[in-house]
Structure 1
Amino acid sequence: MAEVSQTANAKAVVARKNLQSSFFKRGISLALFSGVSYGLYTAFLTMGMTKGVWGDWYGANTKGLSAFVVVYLIAALGNAINDVCSAVWALSYAGVKGKFKDFLRCINTPPGRIMILAALIGGPIASTAYVIAIQMAGSIVVPISALCPAIAAILGKVLYKQELNKRMAVGIVICVSASFLIGSTGFTGETSPNLLLGLGIAVIAALGWGFEGCVAGYGTAMIDPEIGICIRQVTSGVANLFILVPVLGMMAGGVNISTNLAIQAFTSGPAMIWFALSGLLTFLTFMTWYAANSMCGAGLGTACNGTYSFFGPLFCLLVLGVYGGMDGWSLPPVAWIGAVVMMFGIVTISMNPLDLFRKKKEEV
Structure 2
Amino acid sequence: MNDNSNVASLQAIAAKKKVSSDFFKKGLSLALFSGLAYGLYTAFLTMGMTKGVWGDWYGANTAGLSAFVIVYLLAAIGNAINDTCSAVWALLYASSKGKFGDFLRSINTAPGRIMILAALIGGPIAGTAYVIALQMAGSIVVPISALCPAVAAILGKILYKQELNKRMAFGIAICVFASFLIGSTGFGSEASASTFIGILIALIAALAWGFEGCVAGYGTAMIDPEIGICIRQVTSGIANLFILVPIFGIMAGGINISTNLVLQAFTSGSAMIWFAISGFLSFVTFMTWYAGNSMCGAGLGTAANGTYSFFGPLFCLLLLGVYGGLDGWALPSVAWVGAVIMMFGILTISMNPMDLLKRKKGEVQLDEAA
TM over 0.5: yes
Q: Encode CA deviations 1:180-235: one digit per residue, 9 max, x unaligned.
A: 54554323343444777655543332121012122222322222211111101100
The residue matched to 1:222 in structure 2 has which SS? coil
TM-aligned CA distance change 1:131 to 1:346, over 3 Å: closer
Aligned match of 1:33: 33
Query: 8 Å contact 1:179–1:310 — kept in the other structure?
Result: no
Aligned match of 2:146: 146
The alpha carbon displacement at 1:110 in A equals 1.1
The residue matched to 2:56 in structure 1 has which SS? helix
TM-score, length basis structure 2: 0.83
Matched positions, count: 364
Aligned match of 2:306: 306
Aligned match of 1:118: 118
Distance 1:215 1:79 in 2: 21
AA aligned opposite 1:62: T
Distance 1:12 1:202 in 2: 50
Alignment of 1:187-336 (within 5 A): 187-193=187-193, 199-336=199-336
Per mean C-alpha deviation after superposition, the further-off stretch among 48-57 and 328-337 is: 328-337
TM-aligned CA distance change 1:74 to 1:84, over 3 Å: same
Per mean C-alpha deviation after superposition, the further-off stretch among 273-282 and 352-361 is: 352-361
Per mean C-alpha deviation after superposition, the further-off stretch among 32-41 and 133-142 is: 133-142
AA aligned opposite 1:311: F
Distance 1:347 1:198 in 2: 26
AA aligned opposite 1:319: L
Query: 8 Å contact 2:140–2:313 — kept in the other structure?
Result: no
AA aligned opposite 1:82: N
The residue matched to 2:64 in structure 1 has which SS? coil
Identity of aligned residues (%): 77
Distance 2:292 2:352 in 1: 12
TM-aligned CA distance change 1:20 to 1:204, over 3 Å: farther
Query: 8 Å contact 1:151–1:207 — kept in the other structure?
Result: yes
Alignment of 1:50-89 (within 5 A): 50-89=50-89
Query: 8 Å contact 1:43–1:319 — kept in the other structure?
Result: yes
TM-aligned CA distance change 1:197 to 1:277, over 3 Å: closer
Query: 8 Å contact 1:47–1:274 — kept in the other structure?
Result: yes
Q: Encode CA deviations 1:102-161: one digit per residue, 9 max, x unaligned.
A: 111111111111110100011101223334445666655433322211122344466667
Distance 2:23 2:153 in 1: 19
The residue matched to 1:63 in structure 2 has which SS? helix
Q: Encode CA deviations 1:47-71: one digit per residue, 9 max, x unaligned.
A: 1111100000000132211111111
Distance 2:329 2:139 in 1: 11
Query: 8 Å contact 1:153–1:164 — kept in the other structure?
Result: yes
Give the root-mean-square deviation of aligned CA atoms.
3.6
Query: 8 Å contact 2:53–2:264 — kept in the other structure?
Result: yes
Alignment of 1:322-361 (within 5 A): 322-338=322-338, 340-341=340-341, 349=351, 351-352=353-354, 354-355=357-358
TM-aligned CA distance change 1:33 to 1:158, over 3 Å: farther
The alpha carbon displacement at 1:355 in A equals 3.6
Query: 8 Å contact 2:33–2:288 — kept in the other structure?
Result: yes
Structure 2 segments unaligned to the other structure (5+ residues): none
Structure 1 segments unaligned to the other structure (5+ residues): none
Distance 1:296 1:211 in 2: 22
